[in-house]
Amino acid sequence: MERLLVIDGNSIINRAFYGIMGNKMLMTADGKYTNAIYGFLSIMFKIMDDLKPEYLAIAFDLKAPTKRHKLYEAYKGTRKGMPDELAEQMPILKEILRCMNIRIIEKEGYEADDILGTLANLAAKEDINVTILSGDRDTFQLINDKISVRIPHTKAGKTETEDFDEKKIADIYELTPKKLIEVKGLMGDTSDNIPGVPGVGEKTAIKLIKEYGTIENLYENVESNNDKIKGAVRTKILENKDLALLSKQLRYNRYKCSIRYKNRRIKITRMG
């Protein structure tokens, strides 16, 4: 069966940049940094050699505000800007990818996550297997029988990857991938400045979603006193319903992008 590889461009170039730092900070003779470019391409070539996908696309974020910023002004408000040393490498990397005839997709008002979700689901409907390469575990909600996620991580100075499919998600969380949206809604996400219910961490959130299924059903039971939740957790849940529902909406990363091509399939043009 054919395979589409979709890459979260911002996630992978950030990992590449911070993975090659210090005295390993590569640069050209005229002083341009190249560590992120080198690291990104190394990761990309490695996974292409491993999976040998028939199709490839890379999604990038744009600076313009997204739908999530309109829902919640403080979304990602605690994040620092991109370092100049990394920012100067972004246009160079994109030009290299275009010269390789690799499809780059970016759209105002949407994050790379939304584009990844749109492309993955389009391909899955056409009976194409999909691998999403990203360091963002929010992509786990997209996993199904056709879509898997590969997460890179650094071990002993080397980049290794870990694959996640439906079985692995069930083994780790004892939930289906889609239910992780509910978990994230309750626990929030400090990296994206998404509040959730204060004091409810992953362990408690998983327990609640295993029992009640959805955030909406949880509140229906709590508000009608048809629950067994006690103490401070119950009080925090009752006091923060709006934050829980907002957090769930912000975590749902499959806003449908109106991305259209003459051919939905994104063909790889191999080098050499």
Let me know: does 55 contact 5? Beta carbons within 8 Å: yes
Tell me where in the chain the CATH 3.40.50.1010 domain(s) lie.
3-173
The reported pTM is 0.84
Architecture in CATH of 3-173: 3-Layer(aba) Sandwich (3.40)
- Contact between 157 and 205 under an 8 Å Cβ cutoff? The reply is no
Q: Where in the chain is the domain with CATH 1.10.150.20?
A: 177-251
Beta strands 147-155 and 158-164: pairing type?
A: antiparallel
The amino acid occupying position 95 is E
Q: Are strands 147-155 and 129-133 parallel, antiparallel or unpaired?
A: parallel
Euclidean distance between CA atoms 141 and 189, whole angstroms? 15
Q: Give the residue from 244, 250, 254 showing the smallest Cα distance to 216.
A: 244
List, as one string, the DSSP characters of 171-222.
HHHSS-GGGHHHHHHHH-BGGGTB--STT--HHHHHHHHHHHSSHHHHHHHH
Please report, to the nearest 10 degrees, the dihedral formed by the alpha carbons of residues 71, 175, 143, 58 taken in order.
50
Fold of 177-251: DNA polymerase; domain 1 (1.10.150)
Query: pLDDT of the chain along its 272 residues, tens only?
Result: 899 999 999 999 999 888 776 556 677 778 788 999 999 999 999 999 999 999 999 999 887 666 665 565 555 555 567 888 999 999 999 999 999 999 999 888 788 888 898 899 889 998 999 999 999 888 999 999 999 999 988 766 677 889 999 999 999 999 999 999 899 888 877 665 567 788 888 999 999 999 999 999 999 999 999 888 989 999 999 988 988 888 887 766 544 544 443 344 444 444 33
